[in-house]
């Protein structure tokens, strides 16, 4: 539990700035640990106040780590932010596998109420997917889904909806090249996702991202429709072959009508919590996130790992400057080296476009108190808890390892979570400080607020308030609340984003290369 005697908190004994949990007016005398300072100006919640004099070019420390360097002399009680500090360059000691924690004591016997698929996979929702291979078939895919979501699902209560998985790419790239394989891996991940009970693939017909390529490369099976031959009807529908939009919608609708009774047969049953694959993400972060919602999610992550489940950290540009804390926890040297290889890839990727990774903190991040990518990353990795790092996956790669793992994704929320869900995440927990309204069908998304004012302002969108940590609740208490919410949502409890129908537009495969 945090010491709440002061409006500012010392997060680590080595820090020379304090985290401001309550806005400090100019002139206020503040005691922080062994420091007694007078605020030289107003410092808002989530921001940083200097505890002692910091000379120009000297490191600024938060969480006991360097988050940047002073660009001028900063006096005690001054606001520390973009105007008087910069990221600079870090020299990190990766010490791979030097601090691998022991495995947590196993917790056995806990279950959730999920759907057991015929092939043994565990689902938390039951959607039908319309998978568009290219943007040219996106509108048609939406039309197919709209036909069913309006009226035709009323008699099929066990189907959560028909979700159109549409995007802006699918053509004008190198056939079988990096971009093509990445998109195909993402689309296949959604086709095979346990929360997708049945699906159709809809293409235009002439695109680079051919449905047949997707079907063959990932060995996607034909749909079985009652009354049809064993091979079933075609999995891939091409608009050009069908004769245009209207005929494609009509044909696909006929297929779906035949599929609905079979898809509706599923019933929830007890499934071990060990079969939950949790995707974690943070968006609209602020200076509170690394103190409240992210460490609380870390507690929930550790609990899930103890129950035998899987927790995925992602967003490679948002672990930058903090990756040395993860490599220490790598179960093997190979795992640690793979993580660093992905970090180096991002450095090279940014150089190609004359971009620096420190441009990542958004306008809202900065307004909320975050100053550099190092500071943002140090707070972001708190979502990962304290267990060993067991594996590193590329974007949308199928996650098979148990425990805490990492997936290489961009920091942009829809793209990142799309990769996590394609990799098999059947529940998502999304932390936010500024207030994200995120959802991502077919996986339910639980949103956790970093502070109470935002939670109360956006209560129709937030599932849990971690701001209570700044008012007396313990990180462990909120972490357990998140863990219980994960189980409840996996068992069918509706999230705030699901209640508002959010999640159709957030499918966003990573566009990584040139569009030709």
pLDDT computed for residue 210 by the predictor: 96
Do the Cβ atoms of 469 and 291 come closer than 8 Å?
yes
According to the model, what pLDDT value does residue 399 have? 98
Peptide bond connecting 442 to the previous residue in cis, omega within 30 degrees of 0: yes
User: In sequence order, which residues have a C-beta less than 8 Å from that of residue 433 and are 6 or more positions away?
Assistant: 46, 284, 285, 286, 287, 288, 289, 293, 368, 449, 450, 451, 454
What pLDDT was estimated at residue 515? 83
Structure confidence at residue 289 (pLDDT):
97
Angle at 117 between CA 112 and CA 120, to 5 degrees: 85
Ranges of the chain whose pLDDT falls below 50: 231
Which residues are registered as beta bridge partners of 404?
311, 389
Rounded CA-CA distance 73/62 in Å is 18
3-state SS assignment for residue 30: strand
Instruction: Tally Cβ neighbours within 10 Å of residue 119.
Output: 8
The predicted pLDDT at position 359 comes to: 74
How far apart CA 384 and CA 294 sit, in angstroms, is: 8
Q: DSSP E strands: which ranges in 187-296?
A: 196-203, 236-238, 269-272, 277-282
Q: pLDDT for 202-247, tens place per residue?
A: 999 999 999 999 999 998 876 555 555 554 556 899 999 999 999 9
> In angstroms, how far is the first alpha carbon of the chain from the final one?
55
What is residue 152's predicted lDDT score, i.e. its pLDDT? 76
Hunting for tokens 């005398």 — which residue is that? Answer: 29
Q: DSSP label at 71?
A: S
Distance of alpha carbon 72 from alpha carbon 74, whole angstroms: 6
Q: Are strands 127-132 and 196-203 parallel, antiparallel or unpaired?
A: parallel
Q: What is the 3-state secondary structure (H, E, C) of 383-449?
A: HHCCCCEEEEECCCCCCCCCEEEEECCCCCHHHHHHHHHHCCCCEEEEEECCCCCCCECCECEEEEE
Question: Model pTM greater than 0.85?
Answer: yes
Q: In terms of residues, how long is the chain? A: 516
- Measure the CA–CA gap between 127 and 158, rounded to whole angstroms: 9
**How, if at all, do strands 85-86 and 65-70 pair?**
antiparallel
Q: How far apart are CA 305 and CA 273, in angstroms?
A: 10
CB burial readout 419-454, b (16+ within 10 A) else e: bbbbbbbbbbbbbbbbbbbbbbbbbbbbbbbbbbeb
d(CA 339, CA 497): 32
CA 472 to CA 2: how far, in whole Å? 7
Q: Are 439 and 503 in contact (CB under 8 A)?
A: yes
331, 337, 339, 340 alpha-carbon torsion, rounded to 10°:
140
The C-alpha atoms of residue 421 and residue 425 are separated, in whole angstroms, by 5
Rounded CA-CA distance 199/163 in Å is 9
DSSP 280: E
Cα 326–332–335 angle (5° rounding)? 60
Residue 383 phi/psi, 5-degree rounding, is -60, -20
**Secondary structure of residue 334 in the 3-state scheme:** helix
């Amino acid at each position: 539990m945090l010491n709440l005697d002061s409006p500012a908190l010392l997060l680590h004994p080595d820090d020379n700035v304090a985290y401001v949990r309550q806005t400090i007016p100019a002139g206020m005398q503040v005691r922080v640990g062994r420091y007694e300072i007078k605020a030289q100006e107003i410092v808002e919640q989530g921001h940083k106040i200097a505890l002692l004099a910091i000379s120009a070019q000297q490191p600024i420390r938060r969480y006991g780590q360097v988050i940047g360097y002073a660009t001028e002399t900063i006096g005690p009680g001054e606001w520390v932010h973009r105007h008087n500090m910069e990221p600079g360059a870090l020299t990190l000691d990766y010490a791979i596998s030097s601090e691998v924690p022991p495995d947590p004591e196993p917790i056995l016997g806990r279950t959730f109420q999920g759907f057991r698929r015929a092939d043994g996979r565990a689902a938390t929702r039951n959607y039908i997917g319309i998978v568009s291979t290219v943007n040219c078939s996106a509108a048609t895919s939406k039309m197919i889904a709209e036909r069913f979501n309006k009226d035709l699902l009323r008699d099929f209560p066990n189907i959560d909806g028909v979700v159109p998985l549409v995007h802006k790419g699918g053509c004008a790239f190198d056939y079988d090249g990096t971009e093509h394989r990445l998109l195909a891996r993402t689309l296949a991940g959604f086709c095979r996702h346990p929360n997708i009970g049945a699906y159709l693939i809809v293409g235009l017909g002439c695109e680079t991202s051919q449905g047949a390529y997707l079907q063959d490369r990932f060995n996607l099976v034909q749909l079985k429709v009652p009354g049809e031959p064993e091979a079933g009807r075609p999995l891939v529908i091409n608009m050009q072959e069908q004769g245009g939009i209207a005929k494609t919608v009509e044909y696909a609708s006929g297929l779906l009508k035949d599929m609905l009774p079979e898809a509706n047969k599923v019933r929830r049953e007890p499934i071990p919590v060990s079969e939950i694959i949790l995707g974690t993400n943070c968006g609209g972060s602020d200076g509170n996130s690394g103190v409240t919602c992210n460490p609380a999610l870390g507690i929930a992550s550790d609990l899930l790992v103890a129950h035998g489940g899987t927790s995925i950290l992602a967003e490679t540009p948002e672990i930058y400057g903090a990756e040395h804390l993860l490599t220490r926890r790598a179960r093997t040297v190979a795992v640690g080296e793979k993580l660093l290889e992905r970090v180096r890839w991002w450095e090279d990727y940014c150089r190609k476009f004359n971009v620096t990774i420190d441009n990542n903190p958004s306008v809202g991040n900065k307004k909320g108190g975050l100053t550099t990518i190092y500071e943002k990353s140090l707070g972001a990795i708190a979502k990962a808890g304290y267990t060993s790092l067991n594996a590193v996956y590329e974007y949308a790669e199928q996650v098979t390892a148990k425990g805490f793992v990492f997936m290489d994704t961009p920091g942009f929320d829809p793209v990142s979570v799309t990769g996590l869900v394609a990799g098999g995440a059947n529940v998502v927990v999304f932390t936010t400080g500024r207030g994200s309204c995120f959802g991502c069908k077919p996986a339910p998304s639980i949103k956790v607020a970093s502070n109470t004012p935002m939670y109360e302002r956006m209560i129709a969108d937030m599932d849990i308030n971690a701001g209570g940590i700044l008012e007396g609740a313990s990180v462990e208490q909120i972490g357990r609340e998140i863990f219980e919410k994960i189980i409840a949502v996996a068992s069918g409890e509706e999230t705030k984003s699901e209640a508002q129908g959010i999640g159709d537009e957030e499918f966003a495969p990573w566009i990584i290369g040139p569009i030709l």
